[in-house]
Amino acid sequence: MTYRPPVEDMLFTLREVAGLDRLIADGLAPELDGGVADAILEEAGKFAADVIAPLNRVGDNVGSVLKDGAVTTPPGWKDAYTAWAAAGWNGLTADPRFGGQGLPHLVQAACSEVWNAASFAFALGPLLTAGAVEALSRHGSPDLQRVYLPRLVSGEWMGTMNLTEPQAGSDLNALRARAERAGDGSYRIFGQKIFITYGEHDLTENILHLVLARLPDAPPGTRGISLFLVPKVLVNADGSLGARNDVRCHSVEHKLGIHASPTCTMIFGDAGGAVGWLIGEENRGLACMFTMMNAARLGVGLEGVAIAERAYQQALAFAAERRQGIAPGAAKGEAMSPIIQHPDVRRMLLVMRAQTRAARAICYMTAEALDRAHREADPATRKAWADRAALLTPVAKAYSTDIGIEVASLGIQVHGGMGYIEETGAAQHLRDARIATIYEGTNGIQAIDLVTRKLPLGDGAVVREAIGRMRETVAELGRRNAPSFGHSAARLRDAVDSLERATAWMLEALASGRAAEALAGATAYLKLFGLAQGGTALARKALAAQASLDETAGDRGHAARVVTARFFAEHIAAEAPSLERAITEGAGSVEDGAGVFAA
Are the beta carbons of 268 and 256 closer than 8 angstroms?
Answer: no
Closest CA to 302 of 397, 414, 430: 397
- Give the single-character DSSP code of 595: G
Phi, psi of 262 (to 5 degrees): -75, 115
Closest CA to 360 of 106, 559, 121, 22: 106
Which amino acid, residue 305?
V
Angle at 405 between CA 403 and CA 408, to 5 degrees: 105
Positions annotated as catalytic residues are 440
Q: Are strands 158-162 and 207-213 parallel, antiparallel or unpaired?
A: parallel
Are the beta carbons of 427 and 420 closer than 8 angstroms?
Answer: yes
CA separation, residue 322 to residues 328, 341, 359 (Å): 16, 10, 28
Are the beta carbons of 109 and 13 closer than 8 angstroms?
Answer: no
**Cβ atoms within 10 Å, residue 76:** 15
Q: What is the 3-state secondary structure (H, E, C) of 411-424?
A: HHHHHHHHHHCHHH
Instruction: Give Dmax over CA atoms of the chain in angstroms.
Output: 87
In three-state secondary structure terms, 486 is coil
Q: Name 531's Cβ contacts closer than 8 Å, sequence gap at least 6.
A: 495, 499, 572, 573, 575, 576, 579
- Give the single-character DSSP code of 451: I
End-to-end CA distance of the chain: 50
Are the beta carbons of 545 and 559 closer than 8 angstroms?
Answer: yes
Angle at 45 between CA 43 and CA 50, to 5 degrees: 95
The dihedral over CA atoms of 9, 10, 16, 21, expressed in degrees to the nearest 10, equals -130
The dihedral over CA atoms of 482, 484, 490, 493, expressed in degrees to the nearest 10, equals -80
Q: Are strands 233-235 and 241-244 parallel, antiparallel or unpaired?
A: antiparallel
Residues 255, 247: Cα–Cα separation, whole Å: 23
